[in-house]
Amino acid sequence: MKHELTLLLKQRSIIILLLLSLFLTGFSLYNGWQNINHINAQINQAKQEEILRKQDFLEHHSHHGTLDAGELGYYLFHNVYHSPGEWSFIALGNRLVIPYVQRIRLLGLQGQLYDGESHHPEYVMLGTFDYAFLLVFFAPLLCIALMHDLKASEQQAQRLLFLRSLMAEPKLFWGNRVLSRWLLVALTFVLPLLLLAATQTLSFSPLIRILAITALYTFFWSVLCAAISLRKRALNANFNAMLLASIWVMLCVVLPNLSQLWLHHHYPLQDGSQIALQHRQWVHGAWDLPKEDTLTPFYALYQQWKDSPPVTERFHWKWYYAFQHMADVKLESQVSAREQALNQRNQATGLLARFLPTVWVQRNLEDIAQSDVPDLLAQRQRITRFHTQLRLYLYPYLFEEKPFTTDAYMRLPVFED
């Protein structure tokens, strides 16, 4: 192995290729790290702004130590955050196409969740240059470049016969050739990662998982390259390179995209903006309905306030928030179907990952980076829980028509991320 490494590292073209890989890995980590730093900075800034906003609201809306709970529900925005994990920088995944800071009011939740750009077109088009992207797409190309001509290059240099006469164990010889190349490929990915983990004192367990994924994935491609370039009549390097490039296109581009199309077709998903639109239509429609049409089903759900004084005025906040919430209730089945479809897609992708190494890597790295579909759904759950908490905190002041004191204001629920 030592001699094989010497043989490799004495070649200028190999050194250039490995340095390029080291640079790209370093850059992918830097890019991911910068993105996460940006997200964290935005979240911190939003937290500071929220404190100021809430102080400002209190100064402008409090009258003699009380506030209007209805006004508060309408005008006061509460931040919810999708904070990155420690290792999120390795696979940004959904993190750049879903909001990491969102402002929620007491209005219907479904109208707010999907109100905005659901996809950042630039990121959707280009993808993100992070460690996961580089590993999935570039590592195989590096393996192909280093291992497509294992036997053919020796044949071309008229050295194969001589080498075969020297080999005590041909399998050991070729095995060493493949392993030394695999080791170098893996190291160009692992070394910058280890350096970053050491300098930033990142936790050990995810690091081990990432190292294992990197080692296994690059080993898979090394074995594949060896199988092609060491087969009995593998003496044409160009043919080997073309064959391996075709396999790369199939495994990295065609099959994952075809699978994605199949998943989209098999598990159709209602667009979030459709849900937001429908919510808005329900809300708008509610203005024209008799108030009882909204309040009766609302009180059926929240019987503790069924004895709330009847709404006799043209407008009352409790009626307003009741129809906002009832629009959410009416959309529950659609929201649940959407989440179920997302879960089904996720499970199907899990099955697919057993057969497609590219999907397996992406999925596992996104799991470590907390930027996968389960994390997205968990974030939705956290927002829903916070919104429910906020509603149930303010409802007594609205439906029992109690005065909302500044003390109550200070105890308003805060989103915990």
d(CA 325, CA 279): 10
Distances (CA, A) of 406 to 59, 67, 72, 142, 170: 10, 7, 12, 63, 82
Neighbours of 247 (CB within 10 A): 16
Residue 414 per-residue DSSP state: -
Residues 12-41 that bind another protein (CB under 8 A): 12
Q: How far apart are CB 144 and another protein at their closest, in Å?
A: 21
3 state SS of 309: coil
The residue (of 63 and 232) whose beta carbon lies closer to another protein is 232
Q: How far apart are CB 174 and another protein at their closest, in Å?
A: 11
The residue (of 168 and 410) whose beta carbon lies closer to another protein is 168
Q: How far apart are CB 179 and another protein at their closest, in Å?
A: 15
Q: How far apart are CB 242 and another protein at their closest, in Å?
A: 26
3 state SS of 104: strand
Of the ranges 3-11, 250-258, 261-269, 286-294, which one interacts with another protein (CB under 8 A)? 3-11
Question: What is the contact mask toward another protein in residues 107 to 146, using x (rule: CB under 8 A)?
Answer: ----------------------------------------
Q: How far apart are CB 6 and another protein at their closest, in Å?
A: 7
Neighbours of 337 (CB within 10 A): 13
Residues 146-165 that bind another protein (CB under 8 A): 157-159, 161-165
User: Structure tokens of 45?
Assistant: 């800034």
| Secondary structure element (H or E) that encloses residue 144, with its range | helix 131-147
d(CA 221, CA 361): 13
The residue (of 165 and 201) whose beta carbon lies closer to another protein is 165
Residues 165-194 that bind another protein (CB under 8 A): 165-168, 173
The residue (of 11 and 44) whose beta carbon lies closer to another protein is 11
What SS3 string covers 154-217? Answer: HHHCCCHHHHHHHCCCHHHHHHHHHHHHHHHHHHHHHHHHHHHHHHCCCCHHHHHHHHHHHHHH
Number of residues in contact with another protein under rule CB under 8 A: 19
Q: Does 410 bind another protein (CB under 8 A)?
A: no
The residue (of 173 and 305) whose beta carbon lies closer to another protein is 173
Q: How far apart are CB 1 and another protein at their closest, in Å?
A: 10
Neighbours of 318 (CB within 10 A): 22
d(CA 219, CA 201): 27
Q: How far apart are CB 175 and another protein at their closest, in Å?
A: 13
Neighbours of 296 (CB within 10 A): 12
Q: How far apart are CB 12 and another protein at their closest, in Å?
A: 7
Q: Does 205 bind another protein (CB under 8 A)?
A: no
The residue (of 52 and 166) whose beta carbon lies closer to another protein is 166
d(CA 386, CA 207): 32
Neighbours of 56 (CB within 10 A): 11
The residue (of 177 and 318) whose beta carbon lies closer to another protein is 177
Q: How far apart are CB 236 and another protein at their closest, in Å?
A: 19
Contacts to another protein by CB under 8 A: 2-3, 6-7, 10-12, 157-159, 161-168, 173
